[in-house]
Amino acid sequence: MKKKNITTVTYEYDSVDELSKEEQILIQKSKSAVTNAYAPYSKFQVGAAVLLENGEIITGTNQENAAYPSGLCAERVAVFYANSKFPDVPVKAIAVTAFTNNNYVKTPIPPCGSCRQVLVETETRFQKPIKIYLVSESKITVINDAKDLLPLNFDESSLNN
């Protein structure tokens, strides 16, 4: 038997003022996007903003459905739209913000497993890491690579196993 450790490194900021202007704009776009979320059932609105290498910022929101599995998370809406509109432009970063009970969440929320898989696939597709900003009312958690969120991911080698 071999024991393997998997370590994820995150960085925590108490204020957007600690980040670059580009990062601040990306975070503000994710916060603004939550107002467009369609979340009549959970009342948990999520906004995502994707920064592409060409400087474009694409936003997305969660889209619920009475049949819950038919909805889609903000992260995937934003990434899929970005990949559809700019198919040859790598994703540089994504910011994710959630809003519920008339306020932004108190602690940053991580992407679900499906969104993590899509982020890793997007990194693999462009062979570039995606920086992830998880934004709450008073904290920002930064992860430098989507693979840190899903270190044991399903990829092309899994299909050819």
* 75 included as an active-site residue: yes
Assess contact for 144 and 9: CB atoms under 8 A.
yes
Strand (E) or helix (H) holding 121 = helix 113-126
**Candidates 12, 53, 56, 75; catalytic one:** 75
Strands 131-135 and 140-143 come out as antiparallel
> Can you spell out the DSSP letters for 7-72?
----EEES-GGGS-HHHHHHHHHHHHHGGG-B-TTT--EEEEEEEETTS-EEEEE-B--SSGGG-B
Neighbouring C-alpha atoms within 13 Å toward the C-beta of 70: 5
Catalytic positions: 75
